Amino acid sequence: MPSRVNLQVGLLGGGSWGTTVAALVARNAPVTLWARNADTVQEINEDHTNSRYLPDSNLPPSLQATTDIEEAISGADVVVMGIPSQSFRGVLADVAQYVRPWVPVVSLTKGLEVESRLRMTEIIAQELPGHPVGVLTGPNLAREIMSGQAAASVIAMDDEIIIKELQRLFQSGLFRCYTNDDVIGCELGGVLKNIIAIAVGMGDGQGAGDNTRAALITRGLAEMSRLGVALGGRPETFAGLAGMGDMIATCVSPQSRNRHVGVELAKGLEIQEVIDKMVMVAEGVKTAPAVMSLAQEHDISMPISEEVFRMVSGESSAKNALRVLLRIAAGSESDPG
């Protein structure tokens, strides 16, 4: 077990992943978790559980929660953002008045802001200029980690000194944390795989076999890499934990929210019906329009992502989308499309 890290951590977000990361970090350093829901905060403090998002999981007694954002942030040496992408900027604006200068800010969020098409680390740079910015990402299913199963993640930041200290902060037991200085590539890997997971879920929901699933994942990884490199990421990043690793976990696990969206769409439900039935946010639904806008701007072919976009925007059904994907003409594997 790593030695205790002499840092105070403020973590914003009481969902499944935010709570899981808070539980991991609490083994290494004092953590105060901020959540809007007073009942969630009371449950974490008194019962050491978060039954809404992590049923049957116990949290460390040392993990403290609050509904007061100033209490969570004012004394923090590290700020961790586990806020859904479309609420991310608003919460950061509240953080700005309380966070001390030069405190590192780490994003857990795998999405893009719809209107601006910005990554979360870009939003942090806008709202909190001068703060070191990073992202924690990878194939990390919250319930598996809380049950004690082994997992690996990536902390990405371009500051070599700070990233080593953050690696010690997040690494805990069987949760291994690797470092990477490709913030753009790591962050985009977490964003783009969500869209492919919806496509895979759609196929699974219609009884498509392992061959179809493998083809969608592999061609989806090619799409991810093309756009990711065009936006400044490094090719090798998309073959690592933040790319291929996260893609596989999100596309095949029954715990995956985005895969679940595809499965439900395959049953004939409308996208709003699917969203209304979910407790947690599926970032791929919100992110798809921004991703397609970026692909068009950079002239990147993304046929799988395009069909997912048409599905979640109501322009196509899951059945028609899968039929289109299966009929796409195949050229050289190294060619786009």
Q: Active site includes 193?
A: yes
Asked whether 171 and 184 are in contact (CB, 8 A), the reply is no
Q: Using CA atoms, how far apart are residues 75 and 171, in angstroms rounded to an integer?
A: 22
**57-106 per-position pLDDT tens digit:** 999 999 999 999 999 999 999 999 999 999 999 999 999 999 999 999 99
Residue 118 has pLDDT above 90, yes or no: yes
Q: What is the pTM of this model?
A: 0.92
Q: Which of 127, 131, 86 is nearest to 106 (CA)?
A: 131
Cα 78 to chain centroid distance, Å, stands at: 19
Residue 269 has pLDDT above 90, yes or no: no
Q: Using CA atoms, how far apart are residues 56 and 144, in angstroms rounded to an integer?
A: 11
Q: Which of 19, 180, 191, 179 is nearest to 120 (CA)?
A: 191
Q: Pick the catalytic residue from 164, 193, 267, 319.
A: 193
DSSP 87-135: HHHHHHHHHTTTSPTT--EEE----B-TTT--BHHHHHHHHSTTS-EEE
* Close Cβ partners of 320 (under 8 Å, ≥ 6 residues apart): none
User: Mean pLDDT throughout 35-48?
Assistant: 97
The phi-psi region of residue 268 (left if phi > 0; otherwise alpha if psi is between -120 and 50; otherwise beta) is left
**304-332 per-position pLDDT tens digit:** 999 999 888 888 777 777 777 766 645 55
**Full set of structural domains in the chain with CATH:** 9-181 (3.40.50.720), 191-327 (1.10.1040.10)
Tokens 């990073």, located at residue: 134
Q: Using CA atoms, how far apart are residues 142 and 140, in angstroms rounded to an integer?
A: 6
Polymer length of the chain:
337
Positive or negative: CA dihedral 178, 175, 82, 138? positive
Residue 2 has pLDDT above 60, yes or no: no
Percentage of the chain surpassing pLDDT 70? Answer: 95
Q: Two tokens at 328?
A: 């796409």
User: Mean pLDDT throughout 259-270?
Assistant: 90
Secondary element (H or E) of residue 35: none
Asked whether 151 and 175 are in contact (CB, 8 A), the reply is yes
User: Mean pLDDT throughout 236-264?
Assistant: 95
Q: Two tokens at 305?
A: 């992502």
Higher-pLDDT residue of 158 and 271 is 158
